[in-house]
Amino acid sequence: MANPLSNTYRLIKAGITLTYYGVTLFPKHIPTPLPVKLLRFLLLPFSLLGMIFRAPFGYQSPSERLVTALTKLGPTYIKLGQFLATRSDIIGPELARDLSTLQDRLPPFPQDEAIAEIEKQLGASIDELFIEFGPPIAAASIAQVHKAVILDKGIEKDVAVKVLRPGIEKRFFQDQDSFRFAANLVETFSKAARRMRPVEVVKTLDRSVTIELDLRLEASAISELSENTANDEKFRTPDVHWSHTTGRVLTTEWIDGTPISNIKALEQQGHNLTDLGTHVLQSFLRHAMRDGFFHADMHPGNLFVDKAGNLVAIDCGIMGRMKPKEQKFLARILHGFVTGDYLDAAQAHVDAGYVPDHHSVQEFAQGLRAIGEPIADKAAFEISMARFLGQLLEYTAVYDMAARPELILLQKNMVIAEGVARSLNPELNLWKASEPVVKEWLQDQLGPVAKMKKMAAGLQALDQFMDEIPSHLTVLEKNMSGLSRLAGKVQDMDEERLTQLVEGKQQRSLSNQIALWLIALSLSAIAFKQLF
């Protein structure tokens, strides 16, 4: 249960650190709530101390000081900063840009603690579990990774072993409790801040971190992404070793590949960087539009190129999902901008329910044209997906569009994918690279094969309903029989008894009988609708 005193204490400690480095997490475009003003006043001495004693940091930019402060505050604040960096719609572009440089890197925890945790989770000694177990090779706020060797069906295999930091769940729980406490205070005292929906932001972060803290869910995500992309050319994910995986330990295939950021090595190995850049962007779009399930952290550190030239994505702790409506929406807006059909792109927003009814489709199409036309004749290297999507988000305020978290996550990762693709091919044509994927999706959804699948689904639904008709008729017959008997009784009753029946409990029984009869008729109508 939330404890106001302990939460206040933790928030004051965090406030001291932030004040010392001369930063704030509160957006400039929102009036400062009263609790924040009071906290700033109380912490003014620490601000002065910071100005005096942090001489080495005196010449740092505001973004560098912010990153330093959040890193000092620890894992939960690093995650909070990274999450807010994706929400420029809430905190503003300046603060989002400052937070975008925040890296999730921390010193590793001791090897013996990692071994103790693995042995506890897997129920055996480290020597029984692994032929070799090496020191940590990477450490982040939630977990660290070790390289090891296992014996799998008589074959020695290199693996990556990811293990959660000791006590990380308790630390996150306490800090998240403090965030909830602060968010509720801000919403209570600041009407302007309510538009930022701080309570909802904290809930979203809470859900995201909860998933990351269960490594079985990451293993499941890897498995699902692998299944979705099984027939994709030149893309794969590492295999999961389920026998060596629990909620706090994840063991996967070791990827012996070249980091996609090592451009020089990729060139020396003979990889076609132009094709590779296109492949990165198309893979991301294909997973989002076709599967509705995409890697939501495709930064260079999570992408490798193996000896066969496959693009290999690792670290599936953060994944994005899109419902069919969002998949269709993404395909239509991209197709609209690729072909210059701004009216259809605008209609896609309306059909998805993102634009309120009091705005006309033509009016919104005019706004989209204002985004699309200036870049229509530009050279490929001058077109930025980041800027394009940023402008699109700006129009959310102009046309009263509510922010969509799943689309904002998509925007963030499309920008990341663009950055990786452009690092490989600076002259990448984003529209040209996107067009085949969009056409493929449209063909799958609207082509002859798709229509046949829909027809088959309708026939299957009708067939299932036909099988259930006897049982529906039995229920209907019983209800009609009961209704008939009830009608006969009503005819035999005197006026006084009839009035009691109408006003009493039995009236509800009659209503229920009629309702069941109407439900049976409705089911018949639904079956015909599915067919036609």
The catalytic residues are 297
Two structure tokens written together for 140: 């982040």
Name residue, tokens 């000081």: 65
CA 100 to CA 81: how far, in whole Å?
8
The alpha-carbon radius of gyration of the chain (Å, integer) is 29
The DSSP bridge pattern shows strands 155-164 and 235-236 to be: unpaired
Could you tell me which residues come within 8 angstroms of residue 315 by beta carbon, excluding any fewer than 6 positions away?
218, 297, 301, 302
Quick one: DSSP state of residue 167?
T
**Three-class secondary structure of residue 146 per DSSP:** strand
CA 177 to CA 203: how far, in whole Å?
10
Counting runs of H as helices and runs of E as strands, what totals does the chain give?
A: 23, 10
Could you tell me which residues come within 8 angstroms of residue 2 by beta carbon, excluding any fewer than 6 positions away?
177, 180, 181
Strand partners, 311: 235, 305
What is the torsional sign of CA 419, 423, 428, 434?
negative
The answer to whether 108 and 117 have CB atoms below 8 angstroms apart is: no
The DSSP line for 386-411 is: HHHHHHHHHHHHHTTPPP-HHHHHHH
- CA 276, distance to chain mean position in Å, is 25
Two structure tokens written together for 150: 């296992």
Quick one: DSSP state of residue 59?
T
The DSSP bridge pattern shows strands 311-313 and 235-236 to be: parallel
Q: What are phi and psi of 160, to 5 degrees?
A: -105, 125
CA 372 to CA 291: how far, in whole Å?
27
Name residue, tokens 């620890």: 74
Closest CA to 311 of 248, 255, 246: 255
**Three-class secondary structure of residue 113 per DSSP:** helix
Helix (H) or strand (E) holding 244: none
**Three-class secondary structure of residue 322 per DSSP:** coil
